[in-house]
Amino acid sequence: MQLRPNFASLLATVSLLPSVLAVGTPFGLGSATTGGGSAAAATPTSLSQLTTWLSDSTARTIVLDRLWDFTGIEGTTTGSGCKPWTCSPNPQITIDKDSWCENFQPNAAKTTVTYDNAGLNPLRVGNNKTLLGKGSGSGIQGKGLYLKGSNNVIIQNIKIVNINPQFVWGGDAIAIDGGSNIWIDHNFIQNIGRQFIATGYGAVSKTTISNNVFDGDTTWSPNCNGQAYWAFIFTGAGDQLTFALNHVYHTSGRGPHVGGTSGFFQNVHVFNNYYDHINGHAIEPDVGSKILLEGNYFNTVTSPDLAGDGQLYVPTSSSTACQSTLGRSCVANTLNGSGALVDVSDTGVLNGITAAYSAGATVMSAQDAANYVQSHAGVGIVN
């Protein structure tokens, strides 16, 4: 039997005030997340108030009723940069953050860059917060969110857009360095200089990333193909993540990149996502990673995955390995006009991925997932 999150019940699960608090119940590893809990919903009236409410130690339900624009309010910086990519048109340029150009691209042409400071100074998010947007146009522009050791956070129905998109190291949309019980759900992210979502070296556990639209359409990219390359990177020392029911559109890499540091581990269950017109690669397993990839639909994706130093298990319709660990059959992925999945048979992944990773939302078929995600992901759906 195949189940999906039931939106009739989700829409009925609203606390305190209708149409303003987080909607529904999280599934997967983030299923215990409550965010601001019973804190009364409140709408900030200034950028400074929003900044304070997000970062303080008070449990809060914060409702955004507009697109808060941080662009320009912290000024700009003119400094050193480099040009690692020489393609045309509109290659991204790199800010020389922490001497990155000298350390990693010493032969790249040097240049001067002027970037918006707000993008490099994200909003800090404390414990026990719900950040919720009203309608389909509310959110944050020019600045991202930073969770450092934060616990019990819900980010739902907001836009995060236009963070120095022409510059590598221009800022992440959501960066998490350690933390647990995090639910990132029904958001829209586009035009970000660096990652849509990134984890640092601190372990990020009990976290679900679901029902989001990640739109890679951009003017600037390292491949000069109008598609964002820096989508997601999960590198924490013990990351445990559910990544499900997302629409990943017009990206060209890191969809996600998982792992990369010897001695660390990352367990990620990637299921029922819709990967859509990706002129590059999607899944990128690196050292330390264990990725279970099932029930995803790859529509016109050049390389659904890369062979790497991590562990990746991609079941077929006849696979039985999930029965002993997950108590159900594995669900095959679908490739439509896409390249082949490679390096896919490491069942040792199932030593790290348990039934808790998909608790509350049994995996659909890839075709059902594609239909569902196109109708239900992004902002304005759970408003």
CA 319-322-325 angle, 5° bins:
160
Strands (E), 186-308: 188-192, 197-199, 204-210, 213-215, 232-234, 239-244, 247-249, 257-258, 266-271, 274-285, 289-294, 297-305
Residues with catalytic function: 254
Q: What is the amino acid identity at position 118?
A: A
Task: Tell the residue number behind the tokens 């298990």, with chain if given.
Answer: 313
Q: In whole angstroms, how far apart are CA 194 and each of 48, 118, 175, 288?
A: 25, 14, 10, 23
- The candidate with the shortest Cα–Cα distance to 354, out of 324, 316, 319, 313, is 324
Q: Write out 265-282 in H/E/C secondary structure.
A: CEEEEEECCEEEEEEEEE
Beta strand pairing call for 93-95 and 76-83: antiparallel
